[in-house]
Structure 1
């Protein structure tokens, strides 16, 4: 078939499934992968450049989290909107619009000269990234038959894993050699290539449907009323009794507003002629159970990543850079699980056994991490254990997305993909908030009970230093940003005692007292260091203990998924329709 004929059938055929040439598939997938990579890399690159940005713009500590919060809230909110628009207007239009918005936000971020401007422009980036995530994942369902979708969804999932390794390295290099502004400007040439491929070589990929109205603007408004306060509460809530503590009026007010917004959204969507999210889709067991599983797995997903570097820095003693590299084996496990699971699903034509097997691996990985971490654990030991967690997490991105896509009619694949992305991001936010509270409460309790006894024998000056360096709920050092360094403290104590020996009378009794006091002080430093390491170990272990129960819940929900044999392009969707 000539390319022009294929393009026509792909864009406009009202009756037959569209047929695409090999070159159309290759260029479309390349543009979609580049777009997805832009959004995935940006999150990790900017996180690495964060300290340099904070120092240059003199961002107050109270506003620093908003660099991430504004991006994440805008992205999560827009996912359902872009998903619906991709069903109404076509994937090419939405993907191109998303790239343009993302690049505009990137340029404005790089040119920003104030904190408020940077926070606002990060939100613009988030608006565009939602389209990149949603349209890119929906493209796979448009181009390939159900049995082939798994291996290509696996490639997209691998991009997320690779970005978590490449992003910090690239971000560090660019920040050190070019300045933090280029962390954002570097998106422009990559985005230009992606946009060129999308506009010149990608078919419209517009589902064939009879529209019953335009975009559900009232549904979008009520959704924002439900999502924005909820995400802000989860992102900004703290467990240390501060102004934004979980029980404060601000957090409780945000939760109440989110509840009102949710009720309004459900009421609007049940009556809308062209709803943003068709609530009837939840009657499909594969759709409802699949999204529930995605939500729960999302809650467990970051638990294996977010808190481990704190353990590696404060217990194993690695630098921040080397602790980040500890995640590489987990990431490689995720990438391997993504790719292999996609290939296996394509070969077998079935997916449920593979999904259950991955959940069992994840439960085992979390259990091993939770019950075998000790203050004496080494980097090599932790690295080996994290591979198992990565293999368990790997299949969760591509296969659940594929199952949800296959459960709905082709005309609603954009909405289905957006729903999977939305519930995954929502689950991640809730998971980090929940497990962060578990970590903070365990760490605080252990420090309170363990440090008092350990520091009794320390000089008053060292006790004051230790209080300054005792970490808060983030685990990243005390209020002054200091970190307790036992080797440096012991060296300083030895020097002080040596100076004291030269000042006092050199009688045997005086020397003996000084020697005993020195031994006691040095032993107290070791005890304090051990108490800190034990507190961090138990805090991180508690996170993995809770993660085990979350993974078990995901396994139970996965059991509810119906098994479908993946054959023709539309057969599973028709079979799943109510």
Structure 2
């Protein structure tokens, strides 16, 4: 699509941005509302599964659609992604219990994976890597914008409306995005020489699913040393071996292993994996801290996370312009990762709302600087014929990292809080229950559930229903429970800080390839050096 006029490209980008905003706003509006939704539906032990299933299905659909879109074009896949996402959002709003919500979130994740795989790749179809820096920054800014409005809006809905509207509110925007893509997005002809790697797709799915299930169940539903977890990991290893063997034999692999001969692709994907593991695994618990420990309502909890989105919005736009102007990106990545580590460390030691807001601002700055870099580094290192699958590989590693990170952080939280709760109950948190009758003492200790801290109205009803002598004791127990939750969440944030520090160290190994000023590149067989092909104007003005 490089032959299109610049004005037509901008029009197409407007359609892509609309579809991306529809997908991302639905994510950010749900995040801050989930604790209250869980309190309504029950099943806090399945909390991480609402996030995990989304990443699992989006991971699989992303990598499968990446190669298919290289063959058939992007248009109809992004249309299908919007329809699937809308169906999942509508069904999620009809959920009667936590299991239904998890299933429908899986449908949403499938649609989101298709949208992400095709939307980011379409930018590569339209613009050269040098100019792509500006648009990558803009796309990151779209995520930032949705993060600004989403949390506060999601909190307002669960505070003042039925929680179902969290999923239904933006469905009309999905219809607008569908129509814009349908009429504005051009369709390219199929690459007839390409075939579909059905066996590789199946083996890749059989690798990803048991691996993510193992990480999600280990330490929570089953011990790490259980036969179920060991069996899942063993199945993953066998499937992975068969997948690698298959990909070396088929004509058109679903994930060409030759991509990883480029150190820029390999290092960028490893960093993306580790970064998302630390970031997603920890940040998903910010609403828990703000609402459960600090006692902030969902509406105002959204305002606490909003500064992160605003700083990310500003810095991602700056990073995009900077990469387009200089053609370089490594220093931005290093600076961004270092700032992210510092922001996450502040979350470990935060004790009040001002420190929480400061940590959000700093983390958002680092995220805005670093996040756009690694996708662009991968796209710059590959030929345009592999653009879809290369972009999908970035999403694959990010989603795998996020899913595994969420699972591991969930294990850290559940293990930590179980230990603290055992100590709390055995010692009664330093609160004397001797003045109460045994039946009331037993009832109070049974109420020590962290989930109770997320539903303030239910908490008030329980406390007001207790006899007068038990109320001050219950208040002291709740304070001890908050401290137990706060300490457990600090352990989660510390784990995230360590993981992000590892990603920072790996960023020093990232090889910086000057950003091309052409859409296509080919390799001269006699010199093995890349040369420009089909010169494309930067349209810098």
TM-score band, normalised by shorter chain: 0.7 to 0.9
**Among 246, 253, 260, the residue aligned to 1:275:** 253
Tell me, in whole angstroms, the C-alpha distance in 1 between the residues paired with 2:77 and 2:122: 11
Please list every run of 5 or more consecutive structure 1 residues that lacks an aligned counterpart in the other structure: 1-9, 11-17, 498-520
> Greater CA deviation, 548-557 or 407-416?
548-557
Distance 1:177 1:552, change over 3 A: closer
Partner residue of 2:366? 392
Shift of residue 356, structure 1, vs aligned partner: 0.5
Spell out, residue by residue over 1:434-465, the C-alpha distance to the aligned partner (whole angstroms, 9 max, x if none).
Answer: 22222333333334445616345234456435
Q: Indicate conservation of the 8 Å contact 1:103/1:187, yes or no.
A: no
**Among 196, 203, 216, the residue aligned to 1:222:** 203
Partner residue of 2:3? 19
Shift of residue 137, structure 1, vs aligned partner: 0.8
Bigger Rg, structure 1 or 2 = 1
Spell out, residue by residue over 1:26-62, the C-alpha distance to the aligned partner (whole angstroms, 9 max, x if none).
Answer: 2211111121222222334455676898899x78778
**Among 340, 352, 363, the residue aligned to 2:341:** 363
Give secondary structure in 2 for the equivalent of 1:326: helix
Tell me, in whole angstroms, the C-alpha distance in 1 between the residues paired with 2:102 and 2:477: 40
Partner residue of 1:544? 493
Spell out, residue by residue over 1:73-100, the C-alpha distance to the aligned partner (whole angstroms, 9 max, x if none).
Answer: 2211111111101111112232223223
Q: Indicate conservation of the 8 Å contact 1:303/1:435, yes or no.
A: yes
Question: Does residue 422 of structure 1 match 2:400?
Answer: no
Partner residue of 1:139? 122
**Among 161, 185, 196, the residue aligned to 2:144:** 161
Tell me, in whole angstroms, the C-alpha distance in 2 between the residues paired with 1:249 and 1:161: 43
> Greater CA deviation, 178-187 or 250-259?
178-187
Tell me, in whole angstroms, the C-alpha distance in 1 between the residues paired with 2:133 and 2:397: 20
**Among 88, 97, 118, the residue aligned to 2:71:** 88
Tell me, in whole angstroms, the C-alpha distance in 1 between the residues paired with 2:335 and 2:453: 42
Tell me, in whole angstroms, the C-alpha distance in 1 between the residues paired with 2:475 and 2:87: 53
Partner residue of 2:377? 403
Q: Indicate conservation of the 8 Å contact 2:35/2:288, yes or no.
A: no
Q: Indicate conservation of the 8 Å contact 1:305/1:327, yes or no.
A: no
Tell me, in whole angstroms, the C-alpha distance in 2 between the residues paired with 1:324 and 1:174: 11
**Among 555, 561, 568, the residue aligned to 2:510:** 561
Shift of residue 299, structure 1, vs aligned partner: 0.8
Q: Indicate conservation of the 8 Å contact 2:338/2:504, yes or no.
A: yes
Please list every run of 5 or more consecutive structure 2 residues that lacks an aligned counterpart in the other structure: 532-541
Q: Indicate conservation of the 8 Å contact 1:106/1:187, yes or no.
A: no
Task: Kindly indicate whether structure 1 or structure 2 has the higher relative contact order, using CA contacts under 8 Å at least 6 residues apart.
Answer: 2
**Among 203, 220, 226, the residue aligned to 2:186:** 203
Q: Indicate conservation of the 8 Å contact 2:204/2:240, yes or no.
A: yes
Partner residue of 1:235? 216
Distance 1:531 1:127, change over 3 A: closer
Number of residue pairs the alignment of both structures matches: 523
Shift of residue 311, structure 1, vs aligned partner: 2.4
Distance 1:174 1:21, change over 3 A: farther
Spell out, residue by residue over 1:177-232, the C-alpha distance to the aligned partner (whole angstroms, 9 max, x if none).
Answer: 8856655555553233222222322233679xx65442111111111111122223
Tell me, in whole angstroms, the C-alpha distance in 2 between the residues paired with 1:418 and 1:428: 15
Spell out, residue by residue over 1:259-305, the C-alpha distance to the aligned partner (whole angstroms, 9 max, x if none).
Answer: 22222211211211100000011110000001001101111212452
Q: Indicate conservation of the 8 Å contact 1:468/1:478, yes or no.
A: no
Shift of residue 145, structure 1, vs aligned partner: 1.9
Pairing 1:70-219 to 2, within 5 Å after superposition = 70-106=53-89, 121-171=104-154, 184=167, 186-204=169-187, 212-219=193-200
TM-score, structure 1 as length reference:
0.79
TM-score, structure 2 as length reference:
0.84
Partner residue of 2:271? 293
Q: Indicate conservation of the 8 Å contact 1:310/1:476, yes or no.
A: no
Shift of residue 123, structure 1, vs aligned partner: 3.6
Q: Over aligned residues, Cα RMSD in angstroms?
A: 3.8
Tell me, in whole angstroms, the C-alpha distance in 2 between the residues paired with 1:216 and 1:347: 39
**Among 11, 21, 45, the residue aligned to 1:37:** 21
Q: Indicate conservation of the 8 Å contact 2:36/2:455, yes or no.
A: no
Tell me, in whole angstroms, the C-alpha distance in 1 between the residues paired with 2:181 and 2:83: 11
Shift of residue 394, structure 1, vs aligned partner: 2.1
Q: Indicate conservation of the 8 Å contact 2:218/2:411, yes or no.
A: no
Tell me, in whole angstroms, the C-alpha distance in 2 between the residues paired with 1:182 and 1:320: 15
Tell me, in whole angstroms, the C-alpha distance in 1 between the residues paired with 2:454 and 2:287: 19
